């Protein structure tokens, strides 16, 4: 049989994921290796560890009883027999899945990823799976290790959350549009007289409302321009085609250059939290904790502006 420590590592990972393919991805081995090692370990122990069919995989009663013993044996053996440098290399091997908002909700995304990958060169066995998602995902079901989001920070006790900073939105338009329509008196005037942009909410197929605060909001019922990303929204405003509601970090350069004008700036705007999260697990791999801390440091510099 394969080295017993490696067999225990494969078993513990398979028990955590309950998916042999996912366990193989995390350990950077092929799925047949996981299947073979589990079969050899079951033969060695004389008991089945998993029940598998075409729809699901679950631990047997023996497997559930054996799991804490295997985890303890693995931890103790690694502390005693594995040199510190080698242990670090092994702990940093495998896959880390990160989900981020669809560009440009994540400031400076390309350079964020470049900096993170640069830091991870020290861990050649680590595989980074960087996914962009517009729709909300269930971190556990999607096997997500780390997520970045902007909105209301979750209170889910199953998540570990680290706040990075905050952002808010601004009502903006091109100077030529303001020259044609003038400055709006209030939100009712804006809604009635001005061409507005709308952005699709891909979670439900409707338009996003322009939410300002608990007392004030605006719904662009008859937009003249529609998109599904913040880039589309910014383009609609810069073109002079429509008034748009845009994240501050995205429109600030154009406001400074005079290419955009802020409308109704005195309306109080909700500040949204930028946060990093990871699922709460009984055992969190070292590689996930390391990437989480690296990404938190890199992103905090982007969100914590004067």
The dihedral built from the CA positions of residue 159, 93, 150 and 273, taken in this order, carries a sign that is: positive
Same domain? For 93 and 15 the reply is no
Reading the block at residue 191, the tokens are: 């809604």
pLDDT tens-digit map of 247-299:
888 899 999 999 999 999 999 999 888 899 998 877 788 899 999 999 999 98
Same domain, 282 and 142: yes
Does residue 159 contact residue 277 with C-beta atoms inside 8 Å? yes
For 88, the token pair is: 């670090």
Q: Cα(125)–Cα(13) distance, rounded to whole angstroms?
A: 17
Q: Report the pLDDT value the prediction gives residue 121, as an integer from 0 to 100.
A: 93
Output the pLDDT for position 3. 82
- Please tell me the total number of residues recorded for the chain in this structure: 306
CATH number at residue 156: 3.40.190.10
- What does each of the 306 residues of the chain score in pLDDT, given as a tens digit? 458 888 999 999 999 999 999 999 988 899 999 999 999 999 999 999 999 887 788 999 999 999 999 988 887 776 666 555 555 666 788 999 998 875 455 567 778 899 999 999 999 999 999 987 655 555 444 568 898 888 777 776 678 899 988 888 999 999 999 999 999 999 999 999 999 999 988 777 789 899 999 999 999 989 999 988 888 899 999 999 999 999 888 899 999 999 999 999 999 999 888 899 998 877 788 899 999 999 999 988 877 654
Among 37, 64, 81, the domain-final residue is: 81
The Cα–Cα gap between 154 and 276 comes to 10
Give yes or no: residues 94 and 12 share one domain: no
Q: Which domain holds residue 34?
A: 4-81
Give Cβ neighbours of residue 246 (< 8 Å, ≥ 6 apart). Answer: 169, 170, 172, 230, 233, 234, 237
Q: Provide the pLDDT for residue 84.
A: 53
Q: Which of 81, 101, 123 delimits the end of a domain? A: 81
Q: Is 186 found in the same domain as 244?
A: yes
Residues 178 and 238 in one domain: yes
**Three-class DSSP labels, the chain:** CCCHHHHHHHHHHHHHHCCHHHHHHHHCCCHHHHHHHHHHHHHHHCCCCEEECCCCEEECHHHHHHHHHHHHHHHHHHHHHCCHHHHHHHHCCEEEEEEEECCCCCCCHHHHHHHHHHHHHHCCCEEEEEEEECCCCCCCCCCCCEEEEEECCCCCCCEEEEEEEEECEEEEECHHHHHHHCCCCCHHHHHHHCCEEEEECCCCCCECCEECCCCCEECCCCCCEEECCHHHHHHHHHCCCCEEEEEHHHHHHHHHCCCCEECCCCCCCCCEEEEEEEECCCCCCHHHHHHHHHHHHHHHHHHCCC
Angle between helices 20-27 and 4-17 (to 10 degrees): 120
Give the predicted TM-score (pTM) of the model: 0.60
Indicate whether 292 and 259 sit together in one domain: no
Residue 281 to residue 16: CA distance in whole angstroms: 9
The residue written with tokens 């996912």 in the block is: 22
Residue-wise pLDDT tens digits, 88-113: 666 788 999 998 875 455 567 778 89
pLDDT value at residue 197: 97
> Do 153 and 283 fall within a single domain?
yes
280 shares a domain with 251 = no
Looking at the structure, tell me whether residues 190 and 258 fall in a common domain. Answer: yes
Domain with residue 60: its CATH number is 1.10.10.10
Residue 147 — φ and ψ, nearest 5°?
Answer: -135, 150
User: Beta-carbon neighbour count of residue 91 at 10 Å?
Assistant: 18
Are residues 246 and 100 located together in one domain of the fold?
Answer: no
Please tell me whether residues 190 and 52 are part of one structural domain: no
Number of folded domains in the chain? 3
Hey, what are 89's tokens?
Answer: 């290399």
The answer to whether the beta carbons of residues 140 and 265 sit under 8 Å apart is: no
* The pair of three-digit structure tokens given for residue 184, joined into one six-digit string: 């709006």
Domain boundary among 51, 81, 111: 81
Shared domain check, 289 and 263:
no
């Amino acid at each position: 049989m394969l080295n017993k420590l490696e067999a225990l590592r494969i078993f513990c990972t398979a028990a955590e994921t309950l998916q042999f393919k996912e366990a193989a991805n995390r350990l950077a081995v092929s799925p047949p290796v996981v299947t073979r090692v589990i079969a050899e370990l079951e033969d060695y122990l004389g008991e089945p560890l998993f029940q598998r069919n075409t729809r699901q995989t679950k631990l047997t009663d023996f497997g559930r009883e054996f799991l804490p013993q295997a985890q303890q044996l693995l931890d103790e053996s690694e502390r005693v027999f594995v040199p510190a440098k080698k242990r670090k290399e092994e702990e940093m091997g495998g896959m880390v899945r990160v989900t981020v908002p669809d560009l440009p909700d994540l400031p400076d995304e390309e350079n964020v990823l470049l900096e993170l990958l640069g830091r991870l060169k020290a861990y050649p066995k680590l595989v980074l799976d960087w996914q962009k998602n517009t729709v909300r995902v269930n971190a556990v079901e999607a096997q997500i290790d780390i997520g970045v989001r902007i909105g209301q920070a979750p209170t889910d006790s199953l998540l570990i959350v680290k706040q990075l900073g905050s952002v808010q939105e601004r009502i903006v338009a091109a100077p030529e549009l303001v020259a044609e329509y003038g400055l709006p008196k209030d939100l009712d005037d804006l809604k009635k007289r001005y061409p507005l942009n709308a952005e699709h909410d891909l979670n439900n197929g409707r338009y996003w409302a322009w939410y300002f605060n608990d007392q004030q909001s605006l719904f662009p019922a008859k937009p003249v321009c529609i998109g599904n990303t913040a880039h589309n929204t910014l383009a609609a405003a810069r073109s002079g085609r429509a008034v748009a509601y845009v994240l501050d970090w995205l429109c600030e350069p154009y406001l400074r250059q005079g290419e955009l004008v802020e409308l109704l700036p005195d309306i109080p705007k909700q500040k949204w939290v930028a946060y990093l999260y990871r699922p709460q697990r009984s055992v969190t791999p070292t590689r996930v904790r390391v990437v989480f801390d690296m990404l938190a440091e890199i992103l905090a510099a982007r969100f914590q502006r004067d």
